[in-house]
Structure 1
Amino acid sequence: MIRPWFSGDNGRRRLRTLALAGTVLATLFLLWQSDEPASSRAPSSNLRGPAEPDGFVVGGQYRSWDEQGNLRIHLTSPRIEQFEDTGIAHLDQPEAQLFSEGDPTPWLIESNTGKLEQSSEQLELTGNVRLIRQAGNAPSTLETEALTLDNSNGTVYTDQPVTITEPFGVTHSTGMKAWINERILELNSRVEGHYETVR
């Protein structure tokens, strides 16, 4: 009687050894086939494109406090897109409340878009920018097309034309700078005002 080479205990060992060897060979073959140079693998930024954000926030809020723990800025936006490489966040329809020392009434700022540089805490606002300052019963409004908020210095400024509407008149200027804590507004050039006299 002829016994097959894989019968019995010796045969089972040979069969297991053969199966193990086949598995190892198949694994080595698959590794060899998938061995792609690292340089040919595209980073995720190439796949999504340079204009696409690394992440986004819906209904985002940003707050900043001074050294004493007092709230200085409260910024909200329906959508914020973040770009990690540049440290910049793009904001849709941002609205901000700016608090000055000793005054519980904040300045209000709104615009169509904004760009926040996270390292310098500078917020560049563009498109229908409005800065509203509540003074007594009637607010004063500053309107321009571009405005920069420098949170580290507590200033807002622009070199664009501005229109300031107050309860008793309107002022036009090209460029301005305001210090929030000191409540000082400096108009740069081409200042023209129309005021109603109080009787």
Structure 2
Amino acid sequence: MPVSLVAPPRPAGAVAGPGGGLTYLDQRGENGQEPVIGNTVGEPDYYLEDASMTRFDERGRAYQRLETPRLVHTPSDDIIRTEAPHGYLTDDQQRQWQVTSQTGQLSRNGEQLTLQGDARLIQPEQAWSLETQTLHYDNREAHAWSDTPSVLRQHNQTMRGNRFDAWIDEDRMRLTDNVQGRLPQQSEDQGS
């Protein structure tokens, strides 16, 4: 003889709550792709304090050096982020071009460096300096550029433009788009 069990009546919310929770837990287990702890998007896998990083070419010559109070690497995008970086880019004549900014990013394989916030590039021999908001540098082409308004200074001369390019191995620089400048007159005894 069949036996039936009858439960006392419950409010509808009490039945739906636990049932919905069990359904959710059951569905979570089906996909099997739970995030790995410590390796989620944007979470760093390591950081260094008071770090100094030097990159070398295939001949063992240093071509890029960065010093920073804090360096953070995120594996999801393979980017190294730095605070207040100060560094040097070495050209093919072994001259060191100084770079500084408020923050910096070194992309995959270290081929592109992006400096943001009061970014500066200082040329060692001709005493010119560039100030801009964002400065990019591509190691493969030894090309520095900015698409943000830039100020170029050399001695008492100042030039402004909306785009800046420099090829450090060629010792060549270009300032374009809405260029304005202040070039003080030199006295005759200073020459041309």
Normalised-by-shorter TM-score class: 0.7 to 0.9
Q: Is 1:108 matched up with 2:98?
A: yes
Number of the residue aligned with 2:175: 187
Letter of the 1:62 counterpart:
M
TM-score by length of 1: 0.72
Number of the residue aligned with 2:61: 70
Query: What secondary structure, in the 3-state scheme, does the structure 2 residue paired with 1:119 have?
Result: helix
Task: Return the offset for 1:71.
Answer: 1.9
Alignment of 1:1-199 (within 5 A): 39=32, 42-45=35-38, 50-104=41-95, 106-119=96-109, 121-135=111-125, 139-199=127-187
TM-score by length of 2: 0.74
**Whose strand proportion is higher, 1 or 2?**
1
Give me the whole-angstrom Cα distance separating, in 2, the residues matched to 1:99 and 1:179. Answer: 12
Query: What secondary structure, in the 3-state scheme, does the structure 1 residue paired with 2:151 have?
Result: strand
Tell me how large the CA RMSD over aligned residues is. Answer: 2.2
Change (3 A) 1:188 1:42: same
Q: Which runs of 4+ in 1 moved over 6 A?
A: none
List alignment gaps of at least 5 residues for structure 1: 1-36
In 1, are the aligned partners of 2:42 and 2:74 still within 8 Å (CA)?
A: no
In 2, are the aligned partners of 1:120 and 1:152 still within 8 Å (CA)?
A: no
> Which has the higher Rg, Structure 1 or Structure 2?
1
Give me the whole-angstrom Cα distance separating, in 1, the residues matched to 2:93 and 2:165. Answer: 20
Change (3 A) 1:52 1:103: closer
List alignment gaps of at least 5 residues for structure 2: 1-28, 188-192
Q: Tell me how many residue pairs correspond in the alignment.
A: 159
Query: What secondary structure, in the 3-state scheme, does the structure 2 residue paired with 1:197 have?
Result: coil
In 1, are the aligned partners of 2:42 and 2:76 still within 8 Å (CA)?
A: no
Give me the whole-angstrom Cα distance separating, in 1, the residues matched to 2:109 and 2:65. Answer: 17
In 2, are the aligned partners of 1:178 and 1:186 still within 8 Å (CA)?
A: yes
Query: What secondary structure, in the 3-state scheme, does the structure 2 residue paired with 1:115 have?
Result: strand
Task: Return the offset for 1:100.
Answer: 1.5
- 1:11-32 Cα offsets, whole Å, 9 max, x none, are xxxxxxxxxxxxxxxxxxxxxx
Change (3 A) 1:103 1:119: closer
